[in-house]
Structure 1
Amino acid sequence: MCSPHLMHHVYEAFGRRRLSRRSVLGAVGAAALGATMLPAMATRAAAAPGDGRSIVDLSHVLSPSFPVWPGSRPFEMRTLSSISGGTGSLGSIGIPTGVFYTAELRLEEHTGTHVDAPAHADAGGVTVERIPPEDLVAPLVVVDIAAKAHADNDALLTRQDVQEWEAAHGEIPRRALVAMHSGWQARLGQPGAFTNQDRLGVQHTPGFDAEAVEYLIRERDIVALGSDTLSIDAGNSTDYGAHLAALGAGRYAVEVLANLDRLPPVGASVVVGAPTHAGGSGGPARVLAFV
């Protein structure tokens, strides 16, 4: 948002010259761009792959119908002001309504594609804004258990799966994010299939075996785990062994990843856009893979 001083002059110009809304927004954009162009260009240049790699978005689009952990609040979005309608309450803080589109969001931290900070399962663990930035950029390893999960919805990614992956692709690189691809994304179009609850409310979804997580931390020094389901633990878990093993060791998790089927088993890199609200146990994230 532009500064109130800048906006004051833009609105004065609007009144004097009867500029169109497009002209006003163009004036705002030009003024803001003049102050930010060089840093933005530098950031964009640094972030671009630059070596012919493509970018795969591993984040789901969040909407009120997106599945959440049973009992959690669904995502909500309420319009505060719209450009054409002029509705909302922005006028009360000095910004005329009808100029900007804005909305209010209501959601729990662990909604959609999101990060679990160590503090989510460890009282002494770091909160989400304290995850070191260098841990949010990592080599990306994808372990495919889709066939096993199709045959058994309660399937676990085991130490044997990890060892078989390494026999085929080499040793998992140090400080990697290891993601479980179970094929669960295909269930999003089927009502109830993503949470897959039985008549008692128990979820039947795949996850990591705690022994495999301990091995990955101890022997491969991974930085994080990822899953394409609502949890890195299997849905029927009662001890949450994967969470306790990973988060208790100071690692973080990224759950409900998208498009893992578009990635190679090894060779990609990942950037996790974790939120930075103080004291958070996690939060929605934009996650990008460079392939």
Structure 2
Amino acid sequence: MAAAHLVLLLLVAGSHGFPTVAEASEAHPGYAGTDTCEGPAEVRMGIEEYGGGRIVDITHAYQPDLPAFASGEVTGPVVRLKESMANGSLYNLSELRMECHRGTHVDAPGHINQDHFAAGLDVDTLDLEVLNGPALLVDTPRNTNITAKAMESLRIPKGVRRVLFRTLNTDRKLMWKKGGDLSYVGFTEDGAQWLVDNTDIKLIGVDYLSVAAYSDLISAHVVFFRIPV
């Protein structure tokens, strides 16, 4: 399977260390606790071994206050306890319910491409070799969306396949604000086209809920998802 330009949405951590809640970085403040069916618990950034290197888990915890992709909206309850032994049931049973486009996620090839959707190109068809491995972290110009001009200024070397774009979204800590904020930074259509035409990038990581700027929400996605898988 040939690799497409994939869109991986995640927070880009700014620390070279591996912070816990008590020693969170500026880019990833951490969480004081989470409300789950098991009650509050400290959330630590996970560290794993992969291919002789270390993986830092910078995904966001699913919490009711996690911003949703609508102005002022939040994700709301994600897990509820349907059956509880404390309430007389013979077992404990939780229910998980949420949209697939919430929090840290990967856009499926069929997200904004009906041909890909009809062909069954879901996230489980993505190439794990593309999704895993070293990535280049770049800081984008802070006074603009990720336009063609901004992309050119980054001078990303040929051969780089995975890039995490740290933007003004991280400075503003948008993923820690209660409620969605549609003034986030993302790719414009011409920025997306410049990336496709001039780089070898196969995986894109951004620091908010959408890879595309709200002004170019559909058109930038179309550029990325036009690539055959």
| Shift, 1:189, TM fit | 4.0
Q: Which one has a larger percent helix, Structure 1 or Structure 2?
A: 1
Q: 1:191 to 1:80 in 2, by over 3 A?
A: closer
Aligned equivalents of 1:244, 1:220: Cα separation in 2 = 18
Q: Look up the equivalent residue of 1:233 and give its one-letter code.
A: A
For residues 75-130 of structure 1, what are the alpha-carbon distances to aligned partners after superposition, in whole Å with 9 as ceiling and x for unaligned?
42111455x72655xx5xxxxx2xxx542111011011011111001011222121
Q: Tell whether the 8 Å contact from 2:187 to 2:212 is kept in structure 1 after alignment.
A: yes
The equivalent of 1:108 in structure 2 is: 99
Q: Does 1:205 align with 2:184?
A: yes
After superposition, the CA RMSD in angstroms is: 2.8
Query: Is the partner of 2:135 in helix, strand or coil?
Result: strand
- Which residues of structure 2 form unaligned runs of 5+? 1-47
Amino acid at match of 1:157: I
Tell me the amino acid that sits aligned with residue 67 of structure 1. P
Matched residue, 2:195: 216
| Residues 250-265 of structure 1: pairs in structure 2 closer than 5 A | 250=228
Q: Normalization by structure 1: what TM-score? A: 0.52
Distance in 2 (alpha carbons) for counterparts of 1:177 and 1:204: 25
What pairs up with 1:230-241 in 2 under 5 angstroms? 230-237=209-216, 240-241=218-219
How far apart are the structure 1 equivalents of 2:56 and 2:67? 22
Aligned length: 174
What whole-Å deviation, never above 9, does each CA across 1:241-290 have from its counterpart, x for those lacking one?
22111122147xxxxxxxxxxxxxxxxxxxxxxxxxxxxxxxxxxxxxxx
Correspondence list, 1:153-172, <5 A: 155-166=144-155, 171-172=157-158
Q: Which has the larger radius of gyration?
A: 1
1:207 positional shift: 0.5
Distance 1:184 1:224 in 2: 19
Query: Are the counterparts in 1 of residues 158 and 199 from structure 2 also a CA contact under 8 Å?
Result: yes
Structure 1 runs (4+) greater than 4 angstroms displaced: none
The gaps in structure 1 that reach 5 residues or longer are 1-46, 92-96, 149-154, 197-202, 252-291
TM-score, normalised via structure 2 length: 0.64
Q: Secondary structure at the match of 2:215?
A: coil
- 113-122 or 180-189, larger mean C-alpha shift: 180-189
**Once the two structures are superposed, what CA deviation does each residue of 1:54-77 show, in whole Å capped at 9, x if it has no partner?**
432120011111111127864421
Aligned pair partner of 1:120 in 103, 106, 111 = 111
Indicate if the aligned counterparts of 2:64 and 2:74 stay in contact, CA closer than 8 A: no
The alpha-carbon distance between structure 1 residues 135 and 183, as it changes in their structure 2 partners (threshold 3 A), is same
- Indicate yes or no: 2:174 matched with 1:187: yes
The correspondence of residues 1-291 of structure 1 with structure 2, limited to 5 A, is 48-49=49-50, 51=52, 53-70=53-70, 74-81=76-83, 85=86, 87-88=88-89, 91=90, 97=91, 102-125=93-116, 126-145=121-140, 147-148=142-143, 155-166=144-155, 171-174=157-160, 176-185=161-170, 186-192=173-179, 195-196=180-181, 203-237=182-216, 240-250=218-228
Separation of aligned partners in 2, 1:60 and 1:219:
31
- For 2:81, the aligned partner's letter is T
Looking at structure 1, the residues matched to 220 and 194 of structure 2 have their Cα atoms a distance apart, in angstroms, of 11
Aligned equivalents of 1:232, 1:159: Cα separation in 2 = 15
Tell me, what secondary structure is at the counterpart of 1:214?
helix
Aligned residues of 2:148 and 2:193 also touching (Cα < 8 A): no
Asked if the contact 1:60–1:113 (Cα under 8 Å) also holds between the matched residues in 2, the reply is yes
Give the match's secondary structure for 1:147.
Answer: coil
| Letter paired with 1:118 | P
Q: Quick one: distance in 2 between partners of 1:110 and 1:50?
A: 29
Distance 1:215 1:248 in 2: 14
